[in-house]
């Protein structure tokens, strides 16, 4: 009987020992999972509300914060803050608003120059915490910025300077301090040499390849192919046309000439050009509804690509998102309504902001053909800009030359245009004027005398 009792006690001790082992293993696994979750959450890049990036976005350096958002650098800076402390040299708002060259600012904000804008902004950030205590008097030291540019910091006579090719004085030392970084205010913008060289090349037109203007090619209506170019005129032969017929109205009135067919097969890639200008609309901002209608709601993007491939040129009057939001469901619910609205905003000519403005300045009121036949869109000068349409349904040229490549020109307007009702329909709706009876007076002459 004692053996049975001892056997039971051994069995129970064995089960208790097994339970203890399983509980310890479970606790260890839970601890490992919790630590791994902590490391994953820490490495996920979530920014604390006390971060220097949040302080920059909420600070009085509004112009710099806006440029950082436009340059799409928030995620990159979040990753940098998660690795080490950073030091930001923030130019004052006046340096970006008034003191900066407008042409250089326009160059930075163009969608094609996004890398230059990112390089410029990253050159203002050093992956190291440098405060007033580390910035001692008489110290001259170079630091590598996040934009791969060497920034020289100096302190002479209690005046601190930042050198990136040109000196910029620090006006507010330790202006904003946070656990993961520090912000110093400087008097002006720092421009790296690489960005300055890109701007100089763009301004001097060295990076733009010149294309000889050949005009729009002619399409054979029977075969739907491009006609062959005429044979070259031999040297010394008289011109085919008189010189006066070959003269254009003038550089201020004639629209920009479209380049000729390029590529090895000598044809236009209209679909690629249409895709390019739609991507430019999306990146430009404020024209997402227009891009959505061209691509998803209708098949106009494909039709425009075919037209450009056949040699036609187009000017698109693109209403912005605020104007498209005012459209009612009744205006869009009818079959073919979106296509008809868009057809009225496409001009089968290549017009730029300069050519249209010069035309309305000289001729007063100009009517352009549209793809919605037989309606035309009227344009006239108003308030130093170009005004399209009539009366309350008019729209102003809001964002000029959003996209211009010689084949497709996109001009942003602040309203949706509708064709004016024909005069015949308006006349039929008016009530007819009452018919007046006209009584003729009796004639006095030879007849009365004979009677």
Q: Is the peptide bond between 374 and the residue preceding it cis, with omega within 30 degrees of 0?
A: yes
CA pair distance 331, 333, nearest whole angstrom: 6
What pLDDT score does 240 carry? 63
**Cβ–Cβ under 8 Å, residues 285 and 320:** no
The pTM of the full predicted model, rounded to 2 decimals, is: 0.40
**Cβ–Cβ under 8 Å, residues 335 and 304:** no
What pLDDT score does 341 carry? 92
Residue 262 to residues 207, 210, 265, 271, 403: CA-CA distances in angstroms? 18, 12, 8, 14, 19
Of 402, 387, 309, residue with least CA distance to 352: 402
Residue 140 to residues 152, 160, 166, 183, 184: CA-CA distances in angstroms? 7, 10, 15, 19, 17
Q: Is 219 helix (H, G, I), strand (E, B) or coil?
A: strand
Count of Cβ atoms closer than 10 Å to residue 281 Cβ:
23
CA pair distance 66, 71, nearest whole angstrom: 9
Give me the phi and psi of 296, to 5 degrees please: -95, -45
Please tell me the chain's helix, strand, coil percentages from 3-state DSSP, rounded to the nearest 5.
40, 20, 40
Helix boundaries (H) for 45-127: 52-57, 62-70, 74-83, 93-97, 102-109, 114-122
| Segments of the chain scoring below 70 in pLDDT | 1-47, 203-217, 219, 224, 229-230, 236, 238-268, 421-451
Q: Is 431 helix (H, G, I), strand (E, B) or coil?
A: coil
Of 174, 181, 188, 115, residue with least CA distance to 148: 115
CA pair distance 70, 81, nearest whole angstrom: 19
CA pair distance 118, 23, nearest whole angstrom: 54
Helix boundaries (H) for 242-299: 243-246, 270-284, 288-292
Q: pLDDT tens-digit profile of 190-241?
A: 989 888 888 887 766 544 444 445 555 676 777 767 777 667 777 767 666 5
What pLDDT score does 22 carry? 55
Of 118, 102, 410, 416, residue with least CA distance to 282: 410
Residues in the chain: 451
The pair of structure tokens assigned to 431 is 């009530």
What pLDDT score does 448 carry? 39
| Residue where the block lists tokens 């939001």 | 325
CA pair distance 164, 154, nearest whole angstrom: 12
């Amino acid at each position: 009987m004692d053996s049975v009792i001892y056997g039971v006690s051994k069995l129970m001790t064995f089960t208790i020992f097994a339970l203890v082992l399983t509980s310890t293993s479970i606790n260890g696994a839970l601890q490992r999972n919790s630590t791994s979750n902590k490391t994953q959450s820490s490495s996920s890049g979530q920014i604390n509300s006390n971060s220097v990036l949040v302080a920059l976005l909420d600070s009085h350096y509004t112009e710099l914060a806006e440029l950082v958002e436009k340059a799409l650098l928030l995620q990159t800076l979040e990753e940098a803050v998660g690795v080490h402390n950073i030091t930001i040299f923030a130019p004052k708002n006046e340096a970006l608003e008034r003191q900066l060259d407008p042409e250089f600012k326009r160059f930075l904000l163009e969608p094609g120059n996004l890398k230059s804008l990112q390089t410029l902004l990253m050159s203002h950030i050093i992956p190291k915490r440098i405060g007033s205590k580390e910035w001692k008097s008489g110290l001259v030291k170079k630091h590598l910025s996040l934009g791969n540019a060497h920034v020289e910091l100096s302190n002479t006579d209690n005046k601190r300077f930042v050198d990136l090719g040109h000196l910029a004085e620090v006006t507010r030392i330790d202006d904003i301090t946070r656990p993961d970084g520090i912000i110093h205010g400087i008097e002006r913008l720092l421009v790296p040499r690489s960005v300055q060289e890109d701007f100089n090349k763009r301004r001097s037109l060295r990076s733009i390849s010149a294309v000889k203007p050949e005009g729009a090619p002619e399409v054979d209506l029977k075969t739907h192919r491009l006609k062959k170019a005429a044979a070259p005129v031999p040297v010394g032969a008289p011109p085919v046309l008189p010189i006066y017929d070959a003269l254009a109205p003038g550089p201020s009135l004639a629209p920009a000439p479209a380049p000729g067919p390029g590529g090895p097969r000598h044809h236009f890639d209209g679909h690629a050009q249409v895709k390019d200008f739609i991507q430019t609309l999306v990146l430009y901002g404020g024209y997402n509804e227009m891009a959505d209608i061209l691509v998803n709601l209708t098949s106009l993007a494909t039709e425009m690509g075919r037209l450009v491939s056949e040699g036609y040129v187009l000017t698109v009057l693109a209403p912005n998102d605020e104007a498209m939001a005012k459209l009612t469901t009744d205006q869009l619910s009818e079959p073919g309504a979106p296509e008809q609205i868009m057809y009225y905003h496409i001009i089968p000519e290549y017009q730029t902001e300069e050519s249209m403005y010069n035309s309305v300045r000289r001729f007063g009121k100009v009517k352009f053909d549209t793809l919605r036949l037989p309606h035309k869109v009227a344009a006239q000068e108003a308030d130093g800009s170009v005004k399209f349409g009539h009366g309350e349904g008019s729209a102003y040229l809001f964002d000029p030359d959003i996209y211009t490549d010689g084949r497709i020109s996109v001009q942003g307007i602040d309203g949706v245009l509708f064709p004016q009702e024909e005069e015949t329909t308006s006349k039929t709706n008016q009530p007819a004027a009452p018919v007046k009876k006209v009584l003729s007076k009796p004639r006095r002459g030879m007849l009365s005398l004979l009677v």
